[in-house]
Amino acid sequence: MPSGCPSRAIGPSQRPMPGNFQQVGFHRDRLPAPARFYADEGVRLLGVGRWRDALCPFHEDTRPSLRVLLETGAFRCMACGTRGGDVLAFYQRRHGVGFVDAARALGAWGVMP
């Protein structure tokens, strides 16, 4: 460091003690079940089987063009091309928020166990 600059070193009293902090992060297992999530978002899933159809909320849709995989929440619109890999991606796109904000809103962001 150039002379005259204060030291950036932290003293012993400023160092975090083991166990004094909590790690915060993403918990995929806390994401809501896809069927419940899409119902809560007002997306009515039609049909039976792994893939369900719905009206796409990302464009003016008169015929169901959105396909949703119930196992993971992955989605793809066959008309406008919007797609994503899970309910988190859907929430991000629909509400225009980033990853952390979407994870918080869905209850999947918090203290690591």
Structural domain contains residue 3: no
Q: How many domains does the chain have?
A: 1
The per-residue pLDDT for 91 is 98
How far is residue 53 from each of residues 83, 88, 105, measured CA to CA in Å?
13, 19, 25
Q: The pTM is what?
A: 0.78
Owning domain of residue 98: 25-104
How far is residue 72 from each of residues 3, 46, 82, 106, 113, measured CA to CA in Å?
58, 17, 16, 15, 23
**CATH code for the domain of 37:** 3.90.580.10
Structural domain contains residue 66: yes
Cβ-contact 71, 52 below 8 angstroms: no
Structural domain contains residue 34: yes
**Which residue in the block uniquely carries the two structure tokens 């890999």?**
85
The per-residue pLDDT for 18 is 61
Structural domain contains residue 8: no
Per-residue pLDDT tens digits for 47-80: 999 999 999 999 999 999 999 999 999 999 999 9
Structural domain contains residue 113: no
